[in-house]
Copies of this chain bind each other. A is one copy, B any other.
Amino acid sequence: MTKQDIPDIVVGRLPFYLRSLQRMQQEGQQVTSSQELGARLGVSAAQIRKDLSQFGEFGKQGTGYNIQFLSNQLRKILNLDQVWDMAIIGAGDVGNALAHYSGFRNRGFQCTMIFDNTAEKIGGMIGTLVVKDVAYMADEIQAAGIKVAMLAVPADHAQEVTDLLIEAGVKAILNYAPIQLSVPESVRVENIDPATHLQRMSYYLK
């Protein structure tokens, strides 16, 4: 069973399953069912069982899923049984919020570098990180073996920075710039553009 066999859309739902399981665990729950998990997430029980069955058999007939066990399995599947170092590119408001965000660590990620191109920001601290000159970005990322970057620069610089990131070996980019990045097939991109999300909802208003 190779990566190619599993539809993207199935992989895309696993983080939601994991997030709900982690929350149940926090609430002290030990066991759940596809029924219960589905109700919490607004998806069908059948879909959850079908999705999970792509990767193995994680439940027991009659009783459901052990939450701890299923969480661990999902973390392994998603390569979250390690902590991924990340670089933030852009020390504006978004970069700043990302650098301070405390929610990454227990979900498999941590920020270890932040870059900017403005003299006033370079050398300053954001949380525990020193803002570095983007001129050294490619070298530093490559030297540190960083594979994941969050891109929070203005749209008109996003593509050139992306090209540098890819050259430096980055394989996953969380893109906050409101622009469609062009990347080779071997690089994953996820986009976060609040205005796009808002526009999806405004259709249904009025």
Contact = CB atoms under 8 A, between A and B. Distances in A.
Interface of A: 3, 11-12, 14-16, 18-20, 23, 40-42, 77-80, 84, 86, 93-94, 96-98, 100-101, 103-104, 107-109, 147-148, 150, 171-172, 174, 178-180, 188, 190, 192-206
A148 B198 contact: yes
A178 B103 contact: yes
A194 B40 contact: no
Given A15-B199, A101-B93, A180 B77 contact: no
Given A16-B180, A172-B198, 10 more contacts: A15-B195, A77-B203, A80-B202, A93-B101, A107-B198, A108-B195, A148-B198, A172-B205, A188-B204, A188-B205
B199 A80 contact: yes
A159 to B, nearest CB: 12
Given A79-B205, A84-B205, A190 B180 contact: no
B195 A103 contact: yes
